[in-house]
Amino acid sequence: MSGPPKNLRIARCACGSVEFEAVGAPILCAACYCDDCQEGARRIEALPGASPVQGPDGGTEFVLYRKDRARCTKGSQLLKRHKLREKSATNRVVATCCNAAMVLDFDDSKHWVSMYRARFQGDAPPLEVRVCTKFKPESSVLPDDVPSHSMYPFKFVTKLIAARIAMLFQR
């Protein structure tokens, strides 16, 4: 009997019309407080009927996957890419059916996709780190449940590089 693949996670938009599948262990699960993530969250949250994108402390939680391990399996025609700046390579991809933020991906050759953690509902991997906290809203006090870094910690970068190397070897 062949069941579903191991370590398969489903990310769903708020109304259920759009689904992404991610297979295997994520590279990392992080909350980002950078100006772009805050601005991106505000713009998406301003869309009609949108669910919250960032937490009350200004952080947006992402689960990073190798891009060969995450794909849209339902409703891809409903996806719309938003750019903060016209020439930016970064897309915040929204399900237009209910204006749910689904993933953050790139036009260039970056090898990962950042999936909005809130979309995994009950099945989200645990948060591991907070990054770019020097940009957090002044008023917000961060919990110390996971490490916080003012920018990108070394471990964050090495994990991304390790994932790239693993892809080269098709692991």
Chain residues in the site for Zn ion (CB under 5 A): 13, 15, 17, 32, 34, 37, 95, 97-98
Beta carbon nearer to Zn ion, 108 or 169 = 108
Beta carbon nearer to Zn ion, 7 or 134 = 134
Beta carbon nearer to Zn ion, 15 or 167 = 15
**Closest approach of Cβ 5 to Zn ion, in Å?**
24
**Closest approach of Cβ 58 to Zn ion, in Å?**
11
**Closest approach of Cβ 171 to Zn ion, in Å?**
28
Three-state helix/strand/coil letters over the chain: CCCCCCCEEEEECCCCCCEEEEECCCCEEEEECCHHHHHHHHHHHCCCCCCCCCCCCCCEEEEEEEHHHEEEEECHHHEEEECCCCCCCEEEEEECCCCEEEEEEECCCCCEEEEEHHHHHHHCCCCCEEECHHHCCCCCCCCCCCCECCCCCHHHHHHHHHHHHHHHCCC
**Closest approach of Cβ 38 to Zn ion, in Å?**
8
Beta carbon nearer to Zn ion, 24 or 47 = 47
